[in-house]
Amino acid sequence: MFDIIRHKGASAKADVLSGITVALALVPEAVAFAFVAGVEPMVGLYAAFIVGLVTATLGGRPGMISGATGAMAVVMVALVAEHGVQYLFAAVVLAGLFQISAGLFKLGKFIRMVPYPVMIGFVNGLAIVIFLAQLGQFKVDDGQGGLTWLGGTDLYLMLGLVALTMAIIHFLPKLTSAVPATLVAILAVTGMVFYGELDTRTVVDFVRTMSGNDNATLAGTLPTFSIPAVPFNWETLMIILPYSAILAAIGLIESLLTLTVIDEMTNTRGQGNRECVGQGVANVSCGFFGAMGGCAMIGQSMININSGGRGRLSGITAAIALLIFILFAAPFIELIPLAALVGVMFMVVLGTFEWASFRMINKVPRQDIFVIVLVTVVTVFTDLAIAVLVGVIVSALVFAWEHAKHITVTASDNDDGSKEYKLYGPLFFGSVANFLELFDANKDPEHVIIDFDQSRVADHSALEAIDTLAERYMKEGKQLHLRHLSPECRKLLRKAGDLVEVNLIEDPDYKVATDTLA
C-alpha cells in the first residue's frame, strides 16, 4: 500500500529542495481555505507558516506537512460569520489546549483502532476531494459576480500546461533525481508562461478572483502577537467550546491518519502522542498570532515525501520559505501559473488514491469493500471526522455481528451424573442471545458445568446472560457451575457481586491466558 516513493534516502539537500517545492504548493491552498473560513488571505498564510513550523519542530512525524486545511475551515465559517474573527482565534487557542491534553493523556494511541478498510477509504476520499478542489481553478469570473467554466483557447492552454507539468513530474525522475521533479515542473512551466507571454491565470489572479479585489496581493508582514479581543467570561466559553472541540477532533484525526499513511509509505514509525502535542502548540500559537489554525495536509505531505523530504528540515524549510515569499518574494510567487499547481495536485491525486482497492473487490470480505466505499463517499460529501467515525462504528458492528455467530458448545455427561458444556467463542453483547439458546434447563440434570476454557466473558451483557441462565436452572431446582474462568472474568463476576448467583469451581492447577501484558 502507498508504494509510490521515488526517493528512498534522506539528505539535507533533499529536505531543503522538497521544502521549497511544498511552500510553492502551500500558497494557493492557504489562500483558498482562508476564503472558505471567511477570513483574509493573510490569516490563512500565517496559519500555514506557524502550523507548519511548529509541527515540523515539535511534532511526532518528520516529513509530514501541516497548515491551514479545508476540513477545519468548513467548521470555522459559521463561527466567523456569527461572531467575528477574534472569536475564531480564541476557539483555535482552546482547540490547541484540547489537543495538547490529548497528547499528554496519551490518547494518540487510539488511532490504532482505525481499521485498514477505513484507512483505504480515508485516502481514497481525500484523493477525490483534492481532485474536485482543483476543478475550481478551471473557472473564471463571469463579470456578473459569479464564476463560469473556461472554454476555447483558454481551456486548451490550461489543459496543455497541466499535462506538461504532470509529464515533467512523471518522466524527469527517470533521468535524474538530483532535484525534485515537482520543483522543476513548477519553475519550467512558470518560465514558459512568463517568457512566452502566454495568457493564462496565475496565483495573483486566483487571489484577486477569490477576494473580489483587483489590487489584492500576497505581500505581507510578520505576524504579530496579540491576545484575542473577546470578553473573558462564561458566555464566550460557551460560544467557542463546541467549535473548539470539533476543531480539535478533526485536526487530530486528520493528522494522526496522515501520520499513519506516511508511516506506511516510509516504513518508519511516527509518535502519535507527540504529534498531538505539536498540533496543539501550533494551534495555540496561531490563536495568539492572528492565524486560523490547521492540521496535517495529506496532499502537501505526499508532495514532500515523494520529492525526497524525510526529515524535520523539510517541514521547517517549507514554513520559512513560505514566510520569505510573503515578506520578500510575493511578486515572483504571484507569477506562478495555476496550471502548474493544478498539475502538481493531480499527480498527488494519482499517488494518493489506493488503486489496488479495485483489485480487492473479489479478494476480501464484502463487508470490508462496503466500509471502503462508505468511508470514501462520506469523506467526499461530509468531512473526514464523520467519515472515520462512521467507518469505525460500521467496522465494529460488522466485527461484533460476525463473532456473535461463532459461539458454540459441546456437551458431555460425567460419571457423577452432572452434565458439562464446553463453551467456544467470546461471550459478549452480540453473542448472548445465541449463548442462551445453547442450553435446556428443563432437560439437563441437577448439576450443570460450563467450561470457559475456550471462551471469555467480555462485558456486562455477558454477566447478565450468565445470571439469566443461572436463574433458569434455579427455577428448575438445579445449580449452574462455572469452570476455567480467566482472572479477568473472575474480576468481572466479583464486581457484579450478588447480581450473578453462580458457583465458581476453583481449579488452582489450571493455567489460562490473560489479557495482562508482562
Tens of pLDDT, residue by residue over 173-200, are 888 888 889 999 999 999 999 999 999 9
Coil, helix or strand at residue 242: helix
Say whether both 131 and 156 belong to one domain.
yes
- Count of structural domains, the chain: 3
Say whether both 385 and 457 belong to one domain.
no
What CATH number does the domain containing 498 carry? Answer: 3.30.750.24
pLDDT (0 to 100) of residue 500: 53
Mean pLDDT lowest for which of 214-218, 327-331, 332-336?
214-218
221 CB burial (10 A radius; 0-12, 13-18, 19+): exposed
Q: Is the pLDDT confidence value at 10 over 90?
A: no
pLDDT (0 to 100) of residue 280: 97
User: Cell 491518519, residue?
Assistant: 257
- Segment 399-408 mean pLDDT: 83
Determine the Cα angle at 66 with ends 61 and 67, to 5°: 170
Q: Is the pLDDT confidence value at 452 over 80?
A: yes
203-244: per-residue pLDDT in tens? 988 888 777 788 888 898 999 999 999 999 999 999 999 999
Residues linked to residue 456 through DSSP beta bridges, in sequence order: 426
Say whether both 481 and 350 belong to one domain.
no
- pLDDT grade for 502, boundaries at 50, 70 and 90: low
For residue 452, give Cα distances in angstroms to 93, 249, 279, 424, 502.
51, 40, 46, 8, 14
pLDDT (0 to 100) of residue 68: 93
Say whether both 242 and 312 belong to one domain.
yes
Say whether both 212 and 148 belong to one domain.
yes
What whole-number distance in Å separates Cα of residue 135 and Cα of residue 441?
67
pLDDT (0 to 100) of residue 508: 45
Percent of the chain at pLDDT exceeding 90: 51
Does some domain include residue 518? no
Say whether both 263 and 314 belong to one domain.
yes
Coil, helix or strand at residue 202: strand
Say whether both 232 and 325 belong to one domain.
yes
Does some domain include residue 5? no
Q: From 354, 399, 105, 380, select the one nearest 252 (Cα to Cα).
A: 105
Does some domain include residue 359? no
337 CB burial (10 A radius; 0-12, 13-18, 19+): buried
Say whether both 278 and 130 belong to one domain.
yes
Say whether both 379 and 452 belong to one domain.
no
What whole-number distance in Å separates Cα of residue 36 and Cα of residue 383?
14
Cβ neighbours of residue 424 closer than 8 Å, sequence gap 6 or more? 406, 407, 408, 409, 410, 454, 455
Q: Is the pLDDT confidence value at 509 over 70?
A: no
**pTM of model > 0.95:** no
Does some domain include residue 475? yes
Last residue of a domain, one of 294, 327, 354: 354
Q: Is the pLDDT confidence value at 15 over 80?
A: yes
What whole-number distance in Å separates Cα of residue 225 and Cα of residue 24?
26
246-301: per-residue pLDDT in tens? 999 999 999 999 999 899 888 888 999 999 999 999 999 999 999 999 999 988 99
pLDDT (0 to 100) of residue 506: 53
Does some domain include residue 499? yes
Query: Residue 427's domain spans which residues?
Result: 405-505
C-alpha cell at 351: 499517488
Does some domain include residue 172? yes
Say whether both 460 and 380 belong to one domain.
no
Does some domain include residue 6? no
Say whether both 59 and 79 belong to one domain.
yes
Does some domain include residue 512? no
What whole-number distance in Å separates Cα of residue 174 and Cα of residue 402?
48
Say whether both 344 and 429 belong to one domain.
no
Coil, helix or strand at residue 74: helix
